[in-house]
Structure 1
Amino acid sequence: MSIISVTPLSQALSLGAIFLLTLVIPKVLRWRARMNKTLNMNCLHSSTPYLPWAHPDFSHPTEVPGDSRNMLEKSSGRLPKGDTSFFLAVHFYAQARTIYVNGQAFKIPHIDRWEVVVSGKEMIEDMKKASDMDLSFVEALRESMQSDYTLGAAPAQDPYHIAVVRTPLTRNLGARFDDIREEIVLAMQDQIPAKGVDHYDSPILCPIIFGEASEWIKVPMLYTVMKIVSRTSNRFFVGAPLSLYASSRQMFLLAVKRATKHLEPLILERLRKEEEYGSSEWPDKPNDLISWLLDEAQGERRNNIISNIVLRVLHINFGAIHTTSITFTSCLFRLAGNPELVQILREEVEPIIKELGWSKATMGQMKKLDSFMKETQRLSGNVGATSMNRMALRDFTFSNGTVIPAGTIVSVASYAMNRDDEIYEEADTLNPFRFSNMRAQEGESTKHQMAGLDPSYMLFGGGRQMCPGRFFAVNELKALLAHVLVTYDLKFENGGEYPPDEWQGASVNPNRSAMVMFRKRAA
């Protein structure tokens, strides 16, 4: 009887075939079923528009009726036969910022799913009014970012940290403002020194930043801002000296390991204090994010408490640092390219600080600065091409009859709305005091603020799931910019202008390589 020899190659091929049959193929079939479900949805009007793409300046979308690969079929809202979702998905990721058809819904193909994009006041209001059981931000985040695997599953399964951000964190802004202010001063001294420096934690950047010993220094803006914002935010979250170890550039798994090393002793000490005093209230209890999270984590939430608290601190960092950093960077770019604007803002900021000092209440008096920040974000589109992402947990019907099947991701075409002349006069032009001028009108003094409710302004989303940390973000931004205005002069080298933003599909960041020159103002 002959013996059949099995080579390592044949073993590998056999295992590969088994893997395909048991894991990959079922996943592909489920994916196709999901795509077919949304492909055949009758959620769009019979007048479903062509998919719009932009002119070369990416400002005003236009229709391309002759190109069937770039349009949705008018008659049924389906893709033209013969096209694949893959190629249109690639096109979407190249041109995402141009999508906009006012007051209508249309669907965009991604590599693995469809996304329905809406615009117009009526449909946006429907999304804002929807309950968490109908349209869920948390589930949209879990799906689009696969956050169970990239950011940890526990915070998404029981997001009690959102209630912490909404209530105790926001309420303590005034009480903890001195810490925010102190860390801004220290972080700026380290990252943007007035003249020369004897140390820097990135030796590679030393010759680029400092070069010759001169009055002006050149700073890589986005990189530097991320370090400043990380330190400032974490001074408020976990206090000094842990804020010095904050980093926004680590892979999440490495960040979990590093954060656990620093936070575990603090968490264990506070649990020991609770046991010693038999209460969650004890003398000299720190007023910070760890305490607020522990207060919220009662009952079964105390299981695996170290990991749960660490993951939630990192989740809040993830939400706080990225958007604040890109908005702050965009504001600095606008100031560097508009010296006359710097002077106008100083004339508002300096007298207020001289009279009231540095406090949360002081920040609320800076109406022109608030308007400038909001206008910069509106024009730069720091949330990307779309915002207010939600997942339909059950079939959802808009007031105009559009039906979104359960499992569909829905979003708002926010970038294009911000560039719409029907919403904003001369929408493509920077008008830094657009919103403060609106507030100056009778009966409008409390409206049009950056952190306030605005049906046309999507930075913080809207409705029940509006960003709970927006008040912290806006006050932190004001404190950062006010400090720059009173401390530094800034400009682009050789009189440069606002550097082009960098788009990756539907996401946008300020230019990552742009430099800004700083010098300390004369006392």
Structure 2
Amino acid sequence: MASTPLLYVLVIILSAVYLLRRRSNPLYAIPAVGPSLPLLSYIGALRFTRHAHEMLQEGYIKYKGSAFRLAQLDRWVVVLCGPKMNEELQRMPDDQVSFLDAAEDLVQTKYTIAKNVIENPIHISVMRGPLTRNLAPLLLDVIDEINIGVEEHIPTRGDEWVSVPGLATMTQIVSRASNRVFVGLPMCRDPEYFKIISNFPRDVAKGRFILSITPTFLKPIIGPLLPWSRRTVRQYSALMKPIIEERQRLLLEHRDPHDPDRPNDFMTWLIEEGRAVDQPVDLLVNALLSSNFVAIHTSSISVTHALYNLAAYPEYQQPVRDEIVEVIKAEGWTKQAFGKMWKLDSFMRESQRMFGISAISVIRKALKDVTLSNGTVIPAGTLIAVAAEGTHYDEGSYDNPYIFNPFRFSDMREDEGERIKHQYVSTSSEYVSFGHGKHACPGRFFASNELKAILSRLILDFDMKFGGDGHRPPNQWFGSSIIPSQTANVMFRKRPDAGL
């Protein structure tokens, strides 16, 4: 019995130490949205998984111009609010905040994808460099694959309306078009290949969830045991390793970069980048899979959002169609032509403003204590993000932000000084769908041309609408991720003047 008072004293001492450490930690001086007390914060984290939209909106309204924190199951995330804060975060030097470290913490890449793509992210260099520089010559292959994919996956008959699953169909077409560049024919049309790459985002998500509820000290033990991504990586490697090795042999036979028989595509550039850092074939396999994970997941969501808006607002199809016809007749199916499609570009940008892929963006991890301009101190090791949805619905930046105005940005570009700022691929402190600054999405230029090619083909060839009352179905939220309805069908009818 004598030990009972000692136990009470020990509990009191430990509680006092914990509270003192908590009070001295600047993280807890940042206001929280949701419960913030020990243990109760887990209720806020669970609430965030289902009500992120409301919690982020509440935080943006209360703390615009400053920051708030949100509980996750394994950490706190500090969210900055408003264009000024967005700009401040993207300007912070890499020795203070890190994009790659933040991405690794969020995705747990070394367990859910592969450790070597974190240590040597060669796919990012290829996207930022040769892929972007070679968009024009690659475009004809992309368009060819899109045309074939549209014919296969939207099987219209005469002037009848046919109903097609929106997100699933767009994922098929984006996958084929992207992999025509990533791995070429015939693999980009292989059903087994498609099954592997389309299942991979779900495999990663399962692993992320398990690790998000795993204590930090146990992650090195639990992470390598997760089966889903490991199985997919093995399957992908079995398909792609022989193809990559054959390509390496071909490149040795055709060393001259001007040799017409030398392939000039994404796989070649990855091999060259891998050779520069003296890495084995396994890195090339994992880099290709990572490229698919990033490109197909985000592009499929973005183009589906745009498709749903075309179907929900059919009155805007003809103005965009008229522009596409005029430009294609003058320029052909070229990169230059897509650059002149201002209405289509604006439609895509407005669609992405209102219906993004995530409600947060510009993710960083503090490598040291960071002090914001308003005096807020963010301790080292903290994840930081900006409120993307709050930014995009901010009345200080956009007139009538809750109204879908597809030509909002093309109208802005009529002012010569605003033409670059309001392009689909341009980032700013008021528009952060692709991130912002030097770590903005490196593949957005390829994605822009690919999505314009898909939407141009759909708009030229079909009338589109939703059945029933014609309204756009609501999005689905998974934490901060925004997914267009996975069950919605879009109705297509072949136009009598289709084709160009």
Same fold (TM over 0.5): yes
Report the alpha carbon displacement of residue 49 of structure 1 after superposing the two structures with TM: 5.3
1:346 aligns with 2:295: no
| Residue matched to 1:410 | 384
| Residue matched to 2:162 | 217
| Residue matched to 1:496 | 470
| Residue matched to 2:426 | 452
Q: Give the distance between the partners of 1:492 and 1:339, measured in 2 at CA.
A: 9
1:372 aligns with 2:347: yes
Q: Which amino acid aligns with 2:199?
A: Q
Q: Which amino acid aligns with 2:415?
A: Q
| Residue matched to 1:121 | 83
**Range 262-271 or range 277-286, more displaced:** 277-286
Report the alpha carbon displacement of residue 509 of structure 1 after superposing the two structures with TM: 0.2
| Residue matched to 2:13 | none
Instruction: Answer yes or no: is the 8 Å Cα contact 1:274–1:282 preserved in 2.
Output: no
> Secondary structure at the residue paired with 1:517?
strand
| Residue matched to 2:218 | none
Q: What TM-score do the two structures reach when normalised by structure 1?
A: 0.80
Instruction: Answer yes or no: is the 8 Å Cα contact 1:38–1:408 preserved in 2.
Output: no
Q: Which amino acid aligns with 1:147?
A: T
Q: Give the distance between the partners of 1:36 and 1:332, measured in 2 at CA.
A: 54
Let me know the Cα RMSD of the aligned residues.
Answer: 2.4
Match of 1:169 among 131, 155, 158: 131
Given the superposition, is the C-alpha separation of residues 40 and 179 from structure 1 closer, same or farther in structure 2, using an over 3 Å criterion?
A: farther
Report the alpha carbon displacement of residue 38 of structure 1 after superposing the two structures with TM: 7.8
Given the superposition, is the C-alpha separation of residues 275 and 434 from structure 1 closer, same or farther in structure 2, using an over 3 Å criterion?
A: closer
1:287 aligns with 2:261: no
Provide Cα deviations, 1:433-482, integer angstroms capped at 9, x if missing partner.
11111001242222211101322111110122111111011111111100
Q: Which has the higher helix share?
A: 2
Q: Which amino acid aligns with 1:92?
A: F
Q: Which amino acid aligns with 1:302?
A: D
Q: Give the distance between the partners of 1:158 and 1:132, measured in 2 at CA.
A: 17
Written as runs of structure 1 = structure 2, the 5 A alignment for 1:123-202 is 123-195=85-157
Report the alpha carbon displacement of residue 348 of structure 1 after superposing the two structures with TM: 0.9
Instruction: Answer yes or no: is the 8 Å Cα contact 1:387–1:461 preserved in 2.
Output: yes
Unpaired runs of 5+ in structure 1? 1-32, 52-69, 72-78, 197-213
Q: Which amino acid aligns with 2:179?
A: N
* Identical positions, percent: 40
| Residue matched to 2:41 | 85
Report the alpha carbon displacement of residue 258 of structure 1 after superposing the two structures with TM: 3.5
Q: Which amino acid aligns with 1:431?
A: N
Provide Cα deviations, 1:495-518, integer angstroms capped at 9, x if missing partner.
421110001221110001111111
Q: Give the distance between the partners of 2:183 and 2:366, measured in 1 at CA.
A: 35
1:473 aligns with 2:450: no
Unpaired runs of 5+ in structure 2? 1-16, 201-228
Provide Cα deviations, 1:196-255, integer angstroms capped at 9, x if missing partner.
9xxxxxxxxxxxxxxxxx811110111111111000111111211111124242244444
| Residue matched to 1:202 | none
Instruction: Answer yes or no: is the 8 Å Cα contact 1:127–1:463 preserved in 2.
Output: no
| Residue matched to 2:72 | 110
> Secondary structure at the residue paired with 1:151?
helix
Report the alpha carbon displacement of residue 82 of structure 1 after superposing the two structures with TM: 6.4
Instruction: Answer yes or no: is the 8 Å Cα contact 2:365–2:382 preserved in 1.
Output: yes
Provide Cα deviations, 1:288-315, integer angstroms capped at 9, x if missing partner.
111101111235x334x22110100111
1:392 aligns with 2:366: yes
Report the alpha carbon displacement of residue 39 of structure 1 after superposing the two structures with TM: 7.8
Instruction: Answer yes or no: is the 8 Å Cα contact 1:97–1:384 preserved in 2.
Output: no
Q: Which amino acid aligns with 1:88?
A: G
Q: Give the distance between the partners of 2:253 and 2:369, measured in 1 at CA.
A: 51
Given the superposition, is the C-alpha separation of residues 50 and 266 from structure 1 closer, same or farther in structure 2, using an over 3 Å criterion?
A: closer
Given the superposition, is the C-alpha separation of residues 38 and 294 from structure 1 closer, same or farther in structure 2, using an over 3 Å criterion?
A: farther
1:325 aligns with 2:300: yes
Given the superposition, is the C-alpha separation of residues 474 and 520 from structure 1 closer, same or farther in structure 2, using an over 3 Å criterion?
A: same
Q: Give the distance between the partners of 1:38 and 1:463, measured in 2 at CA.
A: 34
Given the superposition, is the C-alpha separation of residues 413 and 282 from structure 1 closer, same or farther in structure 2, using an over 3 Å criterion?
A: same
1:228 aligns with 2:173: yes
Q: Give the distance between the partners of 1:453 and 1:419, measured in 2 at CA.
A: 16
| Residue matched to 1:269 | 246
- Aligned length in residues: 443
